[in-house]
A and B are shown apart, each in its own frame.
Chain A
Amino acid sequence: MKCCQPECGNEATVHLTEIVEGQMKKVDLCEECAKAKGVTDPQGFALADLLLGMGASSEIEAGGSDLACDSCGFTNADFKKSGRLGCPDCYTTFAEALEGMVKQMHKGTEHVGKAPKALQQARTTTRQLESLQVRLTQAVQEENYELAAKLRDEIKELQKESAA
């Protein structure tokens, strides 16, 4: 079997198998490529690259080496090694590293679709406020003060409603 790295025709001697979501993933590497990827030391192997796409581990590293989640103690190194996060709050802790990754692996960077009912009202209000704010700025720029005043009142009304 040949090494799976591009432009490397050497015989593969290192074979890795990992079960991810019940799916078996296999990687075959030659001695040299294995060393280059740090695979000889299984602890140092970045599963993040396999799971989240090549380059993911360097994005995680760029976030800083001493980053740790306040809620669960998960570190940059843990993320790089496992390719997964420790708790919901990790999404805030590692937001910077995640931003580029999410853009690459998904269709968009903002959730569209279902939301828990309890949060739906708040979501709609936030969206409405955002859109009104955009229209307000535009109205001011166009010196359409009549419309601007109307929009400003609408925003105030909506804010009062959601606060109540």
Chain B
Amino acid sequence: MDLKDFLSNAAEVAGRESKDDHVVLSSRVRLARNVKGRAFPGRAKKADRVETCGLIQPAVSSLSAMRGGYSESMANLKALQKQLLVERHHISREHAAKNAGSALVINKEQTVCVMINEEDHLRMQALMPGLQLKQAWRKIDKIDTSLEKKLEYAFDDRLGYLTACPTNLGTGIRVSAMLHMPGLVLQEQVNQIVQAVTKLGHAVRGLYGEGTEALGHIFQVSNQMTLGESEADIVERISKVLLQIIEHEENARQTLLQNKPDELFNHVGRACGILSNAHIVSSKEAMNQLSLMRLGVVMNLLPDIEKSMLDELFLVTLPAHLQQLAGEKLSGEERDVHRAVFLRERLRGTKGLQLSE
């Protein structure tokens, strides 16, 4: 099956509503596993990687949980398809750079993706909308348990699951949530939150990783430590932190509305104005303005716009999605024009900022 036909369209993805999604965009739990007696992908020769992949890929795709899913070698995917998968957060940028000897398997519902021969032999993740860390952990835990009957994992009694990088040692778990925090950004309180969260041993990054600015006011919070604490405890601890961050973000939004309403209305109103009228919109501008519109929607300032439409636009205006929609390769400049056309069309007729007296 072609990847394009397999993946749900952006509107479907954006339409999946869930708990606390005013702030938490998605929850992800990833496990790193390796097969016993085989060199890690970074060390293994190409022939060995191909052999290991040939062992793992059928084992994964034959799991009942992966029935009706998508299974493909990275060698058979074009650059644009790989980028599309990165934009959907199904695979890492690192995995997108892989070719023969690496593969991916996605389940039918597109909530589980297994990367084969990324940095480890297996990187499996469950990705769910909103705040659902426990559900995501349960889902990936089940898949891991059924897979261990088919593959013998590299496991040490004292050190736990052995991984290519010692930072993932032990449980091999990375629990993360994508957070939309425009309130805290506008109130200039993000740094305090980042510092507090870091102190608790968690990492905070921008949408596309460390060092990058937080495009679209989106931050990723994840655990750093993987050894010496059980999976359930790690999930529990980070969930508690997330609930506090949600509270701070909601407070920041309300404070903004009470103390600086003009500033808030100005941000949201301008975002509507720009995206409904501009003729050249960069990816970065689209993300930041859509983010402000999303803030407006969840604060009931844009009554005729649905949150799911903004989430869809956020996804569809990303470079690979835009090119898939256009059906051709586009240069950066062409993309900015296409993006503007698309946004104008979708926002046409919307009323923009509506303040109830």
Q: Which residues of A pack against B, CB within 8 Å?
A: 19, 21-26, 51-52, 71-72, 74, 78, 82-88, 91, 98, 101-102, 105-119, 122-123, 126
Task: List B contacts of A86 (CB < 8 A).
Answer: 39-40, 42-43
Pair A106/B226 contact, Cβ less than 8 Å: yes
* Known A24-B211, A86-B43, A88-B34: A110·B141 in contact at CB below 8 Å: no
Pair B228/A51 contact, Cβ less than 8 Å: no
CA distance A82 to B42 in the complex (A): 9
Name the prevailing secondary structure of the B interface residues. Answer: loop
Task: List A contacts of B93 (CB < 8 A).
Answer: 19, 22
The residue from A23, A85, A114 contacting B171, defined by CB atoms under 8 A apart: A114
- Answer yes or no: B231 CB below 8 A from chain A CBs: yes
The residue from A85, A117, A119 contacting B164, defined by CB atoms under 8 A apart: A85
Task: List A contacts of B251 (CB < 8 A).
Answer: none
How many B residues face the partner with a CB closer than 8 A?
A: 53
Pair A84/B157 contact, Cβ less than 8 Å: no
9 closest A-B pairs by beta carbon, nearest first, are A108-B228, A111-B160, A23-B209, A22-B92, A88-B154, A113-B230, A107-B228, A106-B227, A86-B43
CA distance A95 to B47 in the complex (A): 28
Expressed in whole angstroms, the minimum distance between the Cβ of A121 and any Cβ of chain B is 12
Task: List A contacts of B75 (CB < 8 A).
Answer: none
Pair B227/A108 contact, Cβ less than 8 Å: yes
CA distance A83 to B158 in the complex (A): 21
CA distance A95 to B226 in the complex (A): 18
- Answer yes or no: B36 CB below 8 A from chain A CBs: yes
CA distance A58 to B231 in the complex (A): 31
Across the two chains, which residue of chain A brings its CB closest to B120?
A84
Task: List A contacts of B162 (CB < 8 A).
Answer: 88, 91
Pair A84/B228 contact, Cβ less than 8 Å: no
Task: List A contacts of B94 (CB < 8 A).
Answer: 19, 21-22
The residue from B39, B161, B167, B205 contacting A51, defined by CB atoms under 8 A apart: B167
Expressed in whole angstroms, the minimum distance between the Cβ of B234 and any Cβ of chain A is 8
CA distance A102 to B153 in the complex (A): 21
Pair A111/B170 contact, Cβ less than 8 Å: yes
Expressed in whole angstroms, the minimum distance between the Cβ of A57 and any Cβ of chain B is 13
Pair B43/A91 contact, Cβ less than 8 Å: no
Q: Chain B 225-250 against A: per-residue CB contact (8 Å), 1 yes, 0 no?
A: 11111111100000000000000000
Expressed in whole angstroms, the minimum distance between the Cβ of B46 and any Cβ of chain A is 15
Task: List A contacts of B37 (CB < 8 A).
Answer: 71, 88
Q: Chain B 311-342 against A: per-residue CB contact (8 Å), 1 yes, 0 no?
A: 00000000000000000000000000000000
Task: List B contacts of A102 (CB < 8 A).
Answer: 159, 166, 169, 227
- Answer yes or no: B100 CB below 8 A from chain A CBs: no
Across the two chains, which residue of chain B brings its CB closest to A110?
B158
Pair A22/B209 contact, Cβ less than 8 Å: yes
Expressed in whole angstroms, the minimum distance between the Cβ of B97 and any Cβ of chain A is 8
Pair B40/A84 contact, Cβ less than 8 Å: yes
Expressed in whole angstroms, the minimum distance between the Cβ of A59 and any Cβ of chain B is 11
Most chain A Cβ neighbours within 10 Å, of B40, B224, B232 = B40
The residue from B152, B212, B231 contacting A24, defined by CB atoms under 8 A apart: B212
Task: List A contacts of B205 (CB < 8 A).
Answer: 23
Q: Chain B 156-189 against A: per-residue CB contact (8 Å), 1 yes, 0 no?
A: 1111111011110111000000000000000000
* Known A21-B94, A23-B210, A114-B141: A108·B229 in contact at CB below 8 Å: yes
CA distance A113 to B212 in the complex (A): 33
- Answer yes or no: B265 CB below 8 A from chain A CBs: no
Across the two chains, which residue of chain B brings its CB closest to A83?
B165
Task: List A contacts of B171 (CB < 8 A).
Answer: 111, 113-114
The residue from A19, A23, A87, A118 contacting B40, defined by CB atoms under 8 A apart: A87
- Answer yes or no: B258 CB below 8 A from chain A CBs: no
Pair A84/B230 contact, Cβ less than 8 Å: no
Pair B231/A114 contact, Cβ less than 8 Å: yes
Task: List A contacts of B170 (CB < 8 A).
Answer: 106, 111, 113
Expressed in whole angstroms, the minimum distance between the Cβ of A56 and any Cβ of chain B is 9
CA distance A118 to B157 in the complex (A): 12
CA distance A123 to B43 in the complex (A): 30
Pair B229/A101 contact, Cβ less than 8 Å: no
- Answer yes or no: B306 CB below 8 A from chain A CBs: no
- Answer yes or no: B201 CB below 8 A from chain A CBs: yes
